Amino acid sequence: MVSTERRLPPGKLPADRLARTVLGQLARRREEVVVRPAPGEDAAVIRFGDEFVVVSSDPITGATTDLGWLGVHVCCNDLGAMGAEPVALQVVLLLPEGTTEEWLRQLISRLDAAAATIGVEISGGHTEVTERVREPVFIGTALGKVGPAGRLVTSAGAQAGDQLVVTKGIGLEGTAILAVEAREELERRLGAPAPGEAATGGAGDWQSEAAGYWQEISVVKDGLVAAGAGATALHDITEGGLYVAVRELAAASHLAFRVYAERLPVRPATRIITSALGLDPLGLVSSGALLIAHPAPHRLVAELRAAGIEATVIGDLLAPEEEGLAAGQGLLIDEEGIARPWPVREEDELWRYWARQKQREQ
C-alpha cells in the first residue's frame, strides 16, 4: 500500500508547512517573549527589564567550505537583522568518523577569526564525532542585545509606501560556495581564469572575485546602521534568496510589493557562475545581503554608504489591494517595464544544484 503521507522537501521548511506542522502546535506561555517564531522573523526576542535579548539558531548544511567562518556569520546575521549587537555564540559541531584533530583545530581557528570581526564571543557548545553524520554539521545559537539606547526592528513593521533596499549584492554566499564546491564543473565550462583578468561578462577572474565574497558575509553592521537610520523592517536574505526574502518580509508586514529587475545588484561573478551552472541568482542563498524597508530610502542609502556598505533601492511595498495583490504577493517588473507575478519558489538554487549533481552520480 502506497503511503499518502506528504514528505517534506529538502531545505528550509516552506512557510505554509512550517505554520501548519510546527508553529501551530506551540503554546504562548511567557510574557517576557515579545517576538515569537513566525514566518519571516529572523530571531526570537526576550525582554529582561529595559533590555531585549535576541536569540537565533541556525545550522550549516549546504556547505563544508570554511565552515567556521560561515557558521559564525550566518548565525549572527539573524541578530543584525533585528538591529541587535551579537554578544555570545553557542556552537554544536557534529563531525563524521575519521575527522582529524588538525582539521578541527583549523576550523576553530577560522571560527574564532570570524567572531573577532564582529566582536562576538564563543561562549560554549558541544563537539562530537558520530557515525550519524557523513559531513561536518555546524549548529549555532547566537545571543545578542538591544539596550535602552538601541532600536529593535522586526520583519513585521513595514508600511505601505516604504521602499525596499538591498545591501551589497544578491547571491554572495551561494556564489562563494559554488566557486569552491563546483570548481571543476565551472572550469570545464568557463576555463581556468587568468590571474588579474577582470570579471566583466566573460569568464574573467570569477574565482578570486567570488573568494572575496567570504569577507562580506556579515550583515551585523548593515543591520545596526539601518536600525539607527529608522528602518521599519529588516530581513536576512538567506535560503531561497531574494525570491523568498521579499515575500516573507511583505507577508510578515501584511503588504504586497513591486521589485524592478533592472535595479537588482547582482555582481559579475555571480552572473557568470549562475549562468554557467544554469541557476537563477535571485533564488540563491544570499548571506551578506540585508533586505530593508524604509520610508526615506535615499537618506538610508547615504548613511549605509557613509559606513562603507553598498546599498540599492530595488522596489516598494504596496497596500494589499493595490495591483490586485494579496499580502505576500508581488510583481517583478522586467527591463522592458512588463509586470510579471513574483515567482513563488521555496527550494534554494544551491539545493537544486546539489540534487542535480546527485542524479548525475546515480
Rounded CA separation 155/299 (Å): 20
User: Are 338 and 235 part of one and the same domain?
Assistant: yes
User: Are 254 and 110 part of one and the same domain?
Assistant: no
User: Are 191 and 332 part of one and the same domain?
Assistant: yes
User: What pLDDT tens digit does each residue of the chain (362 aa) get?
Assistant: 445 567 887 777 877 888 888 988 998 889 999 999 887 787 999 998 888 999 999 998 767 778 999 999 999 999 999 999 999 999 999 999 999 999 999 999 999 999 999 999 999 999 999 999 999 999 999 999 987 667 889 999 999 999 999 999 999 999 999 999 899 999 999 987 555 554 444 445 898 999 999 999 999 999 999 999 999 999 999 999 999 999 999 999 999 999 999 999 999 999 999 999 999 999 999 999 999 999 999 999 999 999 999 999 999 999 998 889 999 999 999 999 999 999 998 789 999 998 888 888 77
| CATH number of the domain encompassing residue 57 | 3.30.1330.10
Q: Is residue 249 part of a domain?
A: yes
pTM of the model as a whole: 0.89
Would you state the pLDDT for residue 195?
Answer: 53
User: Are 135 and 178 part of one and the same domain?
Assistant: no
Q: Is residue 22 part of a domain?
A: no
Would you state the pLDDT for residue 266?
Answer: 97
Residue 308: CB atoms within 10 Å: 8
Name, in order, each residue with C-beta under 8 angstroms of 359's C-beta and a sequence gap of 6 or more: none
Q: What's the CA angle centered on 18, arms 17 and 22, to 5 degrees?
A: 110
User: Are 134 and 242 part of one and the same domain?
Assistant: no
What SS3 state is found at 314? strand
Strand order through the sheet with 33-35? 33-35, 44-48, 51-60, 137-146, 85-95, 121-129
Rounded CA separation 263/259 (Å): 8
User: Are 128 and 53 part of one and the same domain?
Assistant: yes
Last residue of a domain, one of 118, 146, 174: 146
| DSSP assignment letter at 186 | H
Would you state the pLDDT for residue 28?
Answer: 87
User: Are 291 and 244 part of one and the same domain?
Assistant: yes
Name, in order, each residue with C-beta under 8 angstroms of 107's C-beta and a sequence gap of 6 or more: 67, 68, 93, 136
C-alpha cell at 132: 550519524
What's the total number of domains in the chain? 2
Rounded CA separation 257/276 (Å): 30
Rounded CA separation 285/237 (Å): 7
User: Are 35 and 72 part of one and the same domain?
Assistant: yes
Q: Is residue 317 part of a domain?
A: yes
User: Are 97 and 238 part of one and the same domain?
Assistant: no
Would you state the pLDDT for residue 40?
Answer: 76
User: Are 232 and 88 part of one and the same domain?
Assistant: no
User: Are 73 and 169 part of one and the same domain?
Assistant: no
Would you state the pLDDT for residue 201?
Answer: 44
Q: Is residue 191 part of a domain?
A: yes
Q: Is residue 7 part of a domain?
A: no
Residue 124 structural domain: 28-146
- pLDDT by residue (tens digit) across 173-183? 999 999 998 99
User: Are 204 and 352 part of one and the same domain?
Assistant: yes
| CATH number of the domain encompassing residue 232 | 3.90.650.10
